[in-house]
Amino acid sequence: MGQIAKGVGCSVVGCDNQAIRSLSTEKVSTAGLKVGERRRTYLCKAHYKEYKRKTKKEKMAEKWRYKG
């Protein structure tokens, strides 16, 4: 799961790296990454890291919010 065929490029605008992960575009744009309007978004290693970091932050913020 999450594995993609070789030779697919990263979908982030201005990035030409080879993608290592495919995610739904909705999730990726929610994380604040600038991607096109295709259904699937492909992320390179660096952008996948960035995506993970941003979603982690969001989850942490939620935790704090619930803590009151």
Least separation in angstroms between CB 55 and Zn ion = 16
Is position 8 an interface residue for Zn ion (rule: CB under 5 A)?
no
Is the Cβ of residue 9 or residue 57 nearer to Zn ion in the bound state? 9
Instruction: Concatenate the DSSP letters of all residues of 18-65 into one string.
Output: BEEEEEEHHHHHHTT--B-S-SEEEEEHHHHHHHHHHHHHHHHHHHHH
* CA distances (Å), origin 9, targets 23, 25, 62, 66: 13, 14, 32, 38
Q: Among 8, 17, 20, 29, which residue interacts with Zn ion (rule: CB under 5 A)?
A: 17
Which residue stretch of 1-9, 28-36, 40-48, 60-68 sits at the interface with Zn ion (rule: CB under 5 A)?
Answer: 40-48
Per CB under 5 A, residues contacting Zn ion are: 10, 12, 15, 17, 44, 47
